[in-house]
Amino acid sequence: MTNRLRIALAQLNPKVGALDDNLALAKSALNDAVAAKADVLMLSELFLTGYFPDDLLFKPEFVSDAISAAKSLVAATKGLQTTLVLPTVWIEQGVSYNAVVVAENGEITAVRYKRELPNTDVFYEKRYFTAGPLPEPVMIKGVSIGIPICEDIWHPWVSAQLVRLGAEILLCPNGSPYWTNKQHVRKELVRARVAEDGVPMLYLNQVGGQDELVYDGASFAIEPGDKLAFQGKSFEPDFIVSDWTYEDDGWTCVSGEVTPLTDIDAAPWRACVLGLRDYVHKNGFKRVVLGLSGGIDSAIVAAMAVDAFGPENVHCLMLPYRYTSETSLRDARDCAERLGVRYDIVAIGDPVDGALTELVPIFGDRPADLAEENIQSRMRGVMLMAVSNKLGSMLITTGNKSEMAVGYATIYGDMNGGYNPIKDLLKMQVYHLAAWRNAHKPDNCLGPEGEVIPQAIIDKAPSAELRPDQTDQDSLPPYPVLDAILEAMVEQERSIAEVVASGFDLALVKRIEKLVNIAEYKRRQSAPGPKLSPKAFGMGRKYPITNGYRDESAS
């Protein structure tokens, strides 16, 4: 048995389904581990397939190709002193497992299976995998090491079993997505396991955006005595090397760097930017286009896009109609100039008026209402999609969670787009983040410093400007009130009676509940966006469109 170990964790950004690209990333990490003279290299959960591959796992050829890629990586360890810990899909006697393969000198020395399969709003691993038995440790360089996989550490008996059978160190590969305060939740979890079991745990997380999920990295290790041994970067790849020595009381980290976590204000911004960047790039686009209305939502999305891609790859269009104010025209141009993006004005007056003229025989003398207003929004969507098609830029959309909750958005209009970076931000969170971004330029962002969102946009009353002198509060309660009700009703799943008891008007709460329910069909057709909270519409909150239930708790 050795009394020294150098352990490398590859905190990387794989792409689901991209087996060749992920294999190349893994081989590069293996080369880095060899150059660092690491005894052990660990990759994150299901690294070669990307996490999580969903129903690709029902495709036999995909699974076969993934296992072939894993064997290729195992073969690449021949002649090396580094032991590889490779999480991968694995088939044993016709049964599919979420597994870890341990490889030394070109050979597989051990295979271990994930015991506890998550079955939550995000991952449904029981749909694809069979749970393995309680795992046993593996021997690496003469050291007994336990490898609980992700969900396993949420169930104390898995780690306890490994330590009871002699594990001296626990290596935990993960695919753990970000949402608010998640980094601290993970750390408290690992602290609990280490305190219970008395051995250090090294926690590796992947990084990057994958559809609606954002993985934030921030890998770390905790030693007995509640010592943070090291901590990796947040929201960007990292290659983390730590040195460990064995003494009478067990293994201790003698060399490990602690990178501070991204703070609680910066984290949502960086998650939105990373989710947007990876969604666009991983789907083969280089540039984005969006409508810049002079309002807060489009301004903050434009700033996020510039932080993600640089100003040269962001194209903003103002699409005015007769109700567009001079203030909005001024503010949109000001925002575009501060961000340094291409800015064009494409008036929609003639096409909207032409459509209204053609509809006269059908509309007759009925009074103007939402139908006419929505033509404006949908015409803007047509123009933006035309620019997207012609110039090859992905259209991104700009509706916040408050609007999406109550249906204050036009389907096939302002909801058009391939991705929505603020889909899981309530309106007041949008205001908070805009003010924060004006005072900070986050790490790994490409936009300018300073006040990138004009204060005039932050200060003015929000309006869709679809009729004269319109404001959002013509149709909705003030956003601080709306957001508080939505926080209770959506995020906390509180009943109408409970929401009313906290100080809100019964009629208003019932109205908001009705709007939330009837807008489900719109949300089902909306663009994906990064999941920032446990109850993000889509992956975090799945309600039926056709839904006859009504909360009568306060009737």
223/227 Cα distance (integer angstroms): 5
Residue 413 sits in the same domain as residue 278: yes
pLDDT band at 123 (very low <50, low <70, confident <90, very high): confident
459: Cβ–Cβ under 8 A, 6 or more apart, which residues?
Answer: none
* Residue 339 belongs to some domain of the structure: yes
Any binding-site annotation on 293? yes
Q: Is the pLDDT of residue 472 over 80?
A: no
477/512 Cα distance (integer angstroms): 9
Q: Crossing angle for the helix pair 156-164 and 182-197, nearest 10 degrees?
A: 40
CA-based nearest residue to 370, from 276, 270, 475: 475
Q: 183-197, 309-323, 364-378, 463-477: which range is least confident on average?
A: 463-477
CATH of the domain at 11: 3.60.110.10
pLDDT band at 2 (very low <50, low <70, confident <90, very high): confident
pLDDT for 201: 98
CA distances from 279 to 13, 117, 208, 395, 441 (A): 12, 27, 9, 12, 22
In the listed set 449, 471, 493, which residue is the last one of a domain according to the structure? 471
Residue 67 sits in the same domain as residue 216: yes
Catalytic residues: 45, 114, 150
Q: Is the pLDDT of residue 18 over 90?
A: yes
Helix, strand, coil abundance in the chain, percent, nearest 5: 40, 20, 40
Any binding-site annotation on 410? no
293/466 Cα distance (integer angstroms): 12
Any binding-site annotation on 292? yes
CATH of the domain at 411: 3.40.50.620
* Residue 492 belongs to some domain of the structure: no
* Residue 512 belongs to some domain of the structure: no
b/e string for 446-455 if b means 16 or more Cβ within 10 A? bbeeeebbbe
- Residue 357 is which amino acid? T
Kindly report each contact of residues 20-25 with a partner whose C-beta sits within 8 Å and lies 24 or more positions away, as own/partner: 20/69, 22/47, 22/48, 22/49, 22/50, 22/69, 23/48, 23/69, 23/72, 23/73
* Residue 500 belongs to some domain of the structure: no
Cα separation of the two ends of the chain? 70
Strand partners, 246: 251
pLDDT for 474: 67
pLDDT for 34: 98
Q: What is the pLDDT of residues 499-524, one digit of tens each?
A: 999 999 999 999 999 999 999 999 99
Any binding-site annotation on 44? no
Any binding-site annotation on 373? no
State the average pLDDT over residues 229-256: 95
pLDDT for 74: 98
> Residue 414 sits in which domain range?
266-471
pLDDT for 197: 96
pLDDT for 173: 98
* Residue 548 belongs to some domain of the structure: no
Any binding-site annotation on 297? yes
283: Cβ–Cβ under 8 A, 6 or more apart, which residues?
Answer: 394, 418
Query: For the chain, what is the domain count?
Result: 2
Any binding-site annotation on 144? no
Residue 46 sits in the same domain as residue 137: yes
Residue 94 sits in the same domain as residue 190: yes
Q: What are phi and psi of 424, to 5 degrees?
A: -110, 25
* Residue 335 belongs to some domain of the structure: yes
State the average pLDDT over residues 391-402: 96
Residue 287 sits in the same domain as residue 423: yes
In the listed set 226, 254, 282, which residue is the last one of a domain according to the structure? 254
Q: Is the pLDDT of residue 216 over 80?
A: yes
Secondary structure (DSSP) of 438-487: HH---TT--SPSS--S-HHHHHSPP---SSTT--GGGTS--HHHHHHHHI
Determine how many CB atoms are found less than 10 A away from the CB of residue 64: 12
CA distances from 154 to 158, 179, 477, 507 (A): 9, 17, 41, 42
Residue 205 sits in the same domain as residue 330: no
The torsion of the CA quartet 266, 270, 273, 278, rounded to 10 degrees, works out to 180
State the average pLDDT over residues 330-355: 97
Q: Is the pLDDT of residue 475 over 90?
A: no
Residue 418 sits in the same domain as residue 302: yes
pLDDT band at 547 (very low <50, low <70, confident <90, very high): confident
pLDDT for 465: 65
Secondary structure (DSSP) of 212-269: TEEEEB--EEEETTTEEEEE--BSS-EEEEEEEEEETTEEEEEE--BPPPPPTTHHHH
pLDDT band at 248 (very low <50, low <70, confident <90, very high): confident
Any binding-site annotation on 398? yes
Q: What percent of the chain has pLDDT over 90?
A: 89
Residue 219 sits in the same domain as residue 92: yes
Any binding-site annotation on 403? yes
User: Look-up: residue for tokens 């992956």?
Assistant: 539
Any binding-site annotation on 298? yes
CA distances from 498 to 54, 491, 502 (A): 37, 13, 6
State the average pLDDT over residues 35-54: 97
Q: What is the pLDDT of residues 54-111, one digit of tens each?
A: 999 999 999 999 999 999 999 999 999 999 999 999 999 999 999 999 999 999 999 9
Residue 157 sits in the same domain as residue 195: yes
pLDDT for 541: 85
In the listed set 192, 224, 254, which residue is the last one of a domain according to the structure? 254
Q: What is the pLDDT of residues 136-180, one digit of tens each?
A: 999 999 999 999 999 999 999 999 999 999 999 999 999 999 998
pLDDT for 38: 98
pLDDT for 552: 86
> If you average pLDDT over every residue of the chain, what do you get?
94
555: Cβ–Cβ under 8 A, 6 or more apart, which residues?
Answer: none
Residue 248 sits in the same domain as residue 271: no
pLDDT for 470: 67
* Residue 542 belongs to some domain of the structure: no
Q: Is the pLDDT of residue 468 over 80?
A: no
* Residue 540 belongs to some domain of the structure: no
Residue 277 sits in the same domain as residue 152: no
Q: What does DSSP say about strands 143-146 and 169-174: parallel, antiparallel, or unpaired?
A: parallel
Residue 177 sits in the same domain as residue 307: no
Q: Is the pLDDT of residue 543 over 90?
A: no
